[in-house]
Amino acid sequence: MTRNAYYVTTAIAYPNGEPHIGHAYEMVATDAIARWRRLEGREVFFLTGTDEHGLKMVQTAQREGLSTRELADRNSQRFRDLAAALDISNDDFIRTTEERHFRSSQEIWNRMAAANNGDIYQSTYKGWYSVRDEAYFDADELTDGEGGKKLAPSGAEVKWVEEDSYFFRLSAYQDRLLKLYEEQPDFIAPAERRNEIISFVKRGLQDVSISRTTFDWGIPVPNAPGHVMYVWVDALTNYITGVGFPDDKSEQFKTFWPADLHVIGKDIIRFHTVYWPAFLMSAGLPVQKRVFAHGFLTSEGKKMSKSLGNVVDPFAVVDEFGADPVRYYFLREISWGQDGDWGREKFVNRSNADLANNFGNLAQRSLSMIAKNFGGQMPPRQLGSGEDNKVIAETILAIERMTVAMATEQLHEAAAELVAALSAANLYFAEQAPWGKKDDMARMGAILATTADIVRRAAIAAQPFVPTAAGKMLDLLAVPADQRQLEHALDPDLFIAPQTQLPPPEPVFRKFEQAKAG
Ligand code: MSP
């Protein structure tokens, strides 16, 4: 039996700058997954937050003439604001500078230090470090940049560092990690990423440096004056802090750990599928169940960069279009797990076609005809009508296919199924032409009731994607709050009761204009 609790997380972003559209994308995708699980009736805990330690934060603050804490406070709030603007349903927001997280990180450190006669040992680190990636690199991973600079695979400059450091015995975990990937084939998704990680681990793992001594913006290593934890040790630990660690006897921890899913971007997959499970194994804690690495977003086909001036501000986009259409674009237009693009023209086309024309019009046309011809009271269906039964059965099948797609978080496929069901319903509506049935009001009513029922089912299933609009549609259909779960969309015998008085219809989705050329 699968457990009912479900714990899902986003990566925690560095608040060294304003959030961009890539951060918005990750929040929205994870939110749609969390909402879908709730729709299925699961007890969800959804965590997001900010990753506030490390040299990158220190250096950015220096450049901006702020204290590191001021920078962290200011920008962390912007990530919280973004979550609110996008209608993200997170249950908690963690900051790694919080006291609870210090306790948690020090406890996992102590457990790792105590494990296997010491998975943590002291030595000297000599090697390359990229501040932008907050990551160490081997010489053979680097390329030559301008002016003799050495570059990490991300293109960020690396610097040679030599310092006294604690190390984690990652090399001892190679076999256990390979066994994990074999025994849990869905531990890493998508599959291409899994193959990459397996071959990386098979090439052999080196121990990792996990403390720094050249700055103090971090969590102190227990009993080691002058050492702060390497930012990734404390960053990854947020996932257990968020559910109550170090109190691992607490109800919350027992209910939600191990996490069902960490959603992250493809650039940080090694940290999540190699380091993190090894840390957990070392500390004697259960390993998370799955990691999904999504792709990267570009802006109008180009990599986003401050120098190109094409970094898309998610607040501006939400201000202009509203959260639902932006969410929908991310979820439908970008194949989950692949790279994708934010493009304004594509956005307007997608939103107008699928939301305003397909979904919105079907609701608006059927509901205004019910208002006009039946005083806003839901007319009865005609039980024997094959056409009506067929289109309802098709809708239910499409929602079942959405459920299958969502079992492996295939967000864009689930969204596509929904839209296909609505297209079929639009076709039914056009063929049945209820406006021409003035001489057979029973038939007109049955067509409208059937269509309204499809809108009800679709709106229930659409809630994880476009929560506000879907909720509004369900209000317009007078669907009670306790009948908005997935089971109510799939139940072949559940309909809006005839005679139910509906509120006056109003449009739910706007149509957008393309930007004028020139
Ligand atoms: N702080 C680390 C994560 C620690 S998780 C324990 C970090 N922060 S980040 O701010 O650089 O990135 C946060 C998330 O946003 C990551 O999952 C990253 O992959 C994702 N993205 C960053 N740029 C992105 C795009 N351009 N497109 C899509 N996602 C992107 O890494």
Query: Percentage of residues in the chain with pLDDT exceeding 70?
Result: 99
Determine which residue's CA is closest to atom 10 belonging to ligand 1. Answer: 13
Query: Which mutation among 52, 264, 270, 299 tests ligand 1's pocket best, with the greatest number of atoms within 8 A of CB?
Result: 264
Question: Looking at ligand 1, which residue's alpha carbon is closest to its atom 18?
Answer: 265
- Please state the atom number of ligand 1 nearest to the C-alpha of residue 263: 17
Predicted pLDDT at 306? 78
C-alpha 266 to ligand 1 mean position (Å): 9
Question: pLDDT by residue (tens digit) across 61-92?
Answer: 999 999 999 999 999 999 999 999 999 999 99
pLDDT(259) > 80: yes
Find all residues with CB under 8 Å of 52, minimum gap 6, and list them.
14, 15, 72, 76, 95, 96, 97
Distance in Å, CA 265 to ligand 1 centroid: 6
Residue 238, phi-psi category: left (phi > 0), alpha (psi -120 to 50), beta (remainder): alpha
Question: What are the start-end ranges of the E strands in 259-370?
Answer: 261-265, 291-294, 297-299, 340-342
Q: If you measure from the C-alpha of residue 53 to the centroid of ligand 1, how many angstroms do you get, rounded to a whole number? A: 15
Nearest CA to ligand 1 atom 5: 11
- Ligand 1 pocket, mutate which of 267, 274, 276, 330 (most atoms under 8 A from CB): 267
Closest protein CA for atom 25 of ligand 1: 22
Nearest Cα residue to atom 2 of ligand 1: 13
Question: Which residue's CA is minimally distant from atom 20 of ligand 1?
Answer: 265
Helix (H, G, I), strand (E, B) or coil at 247: coil
The SS3 of residue 405 is: helix
Nearest of 295, 243, 293 to residue 272 by alpha carbon:
293
Q: What is the pLDDT of residues 435-476, one digit of tens each?
A: 999 999 999 999 999 999 999 999 999 999 999 999 999 999
Instruction: For residue 29, give Cα distances in angstroms to 13, 74, 272, 295.
Output: 15, 25, 18, 11
Contact 29, 263 (CB under 8 A): yes
- Longest alpha-carbon distance in the chain: 89
Report d(CA 283, CA 379) in Å as an integer: 62
Cα 56 from Cα 484, distance rounded (Å): 45
Residue 296 Cβ < 6 Å to ligand 1 = yes
State in Å: Cα 437 to ligand 1 middle.
56
d(CA 186, CA 260): 11
Question: What's the token pair of residue 349?
Answer: 């086309």
Alpha helices in 20-125 (DSSP H): 21-39, 55-64, 68-85, 99-114
Q: Is 14 in the pocket of ligand 1 (CB under 6 A)?
A: yes
Cα-to-centroid distance, 48 and ligand 1 (Å): 12
- Quick check: CB of 13 below 6 Å from ligand 1? yes
pLDDT score of 518: 53
Would you say the CB of residue 231 lies under 6 angstroms from ligand 1? no
Confidence label for 517 from pLDDT (cuts 50, 70 and 90): low
Is residue 189 within 8 Å of 29, Cβ to Cβ? no
pLDDT in tens, 13-23: 999 999 999 99
Cα–Cα distance list, 432 to 231, 353, 358, 428 (Å)? 62, 22, 17, 6
Tens of pLDDT, residue by residue over 336-367, are 999 999 999 999 999 999 999 999 999 999 99
Give, rounded to a whole angstrom, the gap between the first and last alpha carbons of the chain.
59
Nearest to 96 by CA among 7, 8, 13: 13
Ligand 1 centroid to Cα of residue 185, in Å, is 24
For 142-157, write each residue's pLDDT tens digit. Answer: 999 999 899 999 999 9
Ligand 1, atom nearest to 265 Cα = 19
The dihedral built from the CA positions of residue 74, 75, 79 and 81, taken in this order, carries a sign that is positive
Using only C-alpha atoms, the chain has a radius of gyration, in whole angstroms, of 26
For 273-327, write each residue's pLDDT tens digit. 999 999 999 999 999 999 999 999 999 998 888 778 888 899 999 999 999 999 9
> What letter represents residue 517's amino acid?
A
* Count of beta carbons in the 10 Å neighbourhood of residue 44: 22
Q: Best substitution site from 25, 237, 268 to test ligand 1's pocket, by max atoms within 8 Å of Cβ?
A: 268
Q: Is the pLDDT of residue 1 over 70?
A: no
User: How many angstroms does the Cα of residue 264 sit away from the middle of ligand 1?
Assistant: 7
199-218 exposure pattern, b = at least 16 Cβ within 10 A, e = fewer: eebeeebebbbbbbbeeebb
22 lines ligand 1 (CB under 6 A): yes
Asked if 313 contacts 41 with a C-beta cutoff of 8 angstroms, the reply is: no
Statement: residue 2 has pLDDT above 90? no
Looking at residues 382-389, what average pLDDT do you find? 92
Atom of ligand 1 nearest to the CA of 304: 26
Which of the residue ranges 136-140, 219-223, 426-430 would you say has the lowest mean pLDDT? 136-140
Ligand 1 center from residue 45 Cα (angstroms): 21
Please tell me the pTM assigned to this model. 0.97
**Which residue puts its alpha carbon closest to atom 29 of ligand 1?**
22
Q: Are 218 and 51 in contact (CB under 8 A)?
A: no
Mean pLDDT of the chain: 96
> Are 502 and 371 within 8 A, CB to CB?
yes
Cα 70 to middle of ligand 1, angstroms: 21
**25 pocket-lining for ligand 1 (C-beta < 6 Å):** yes
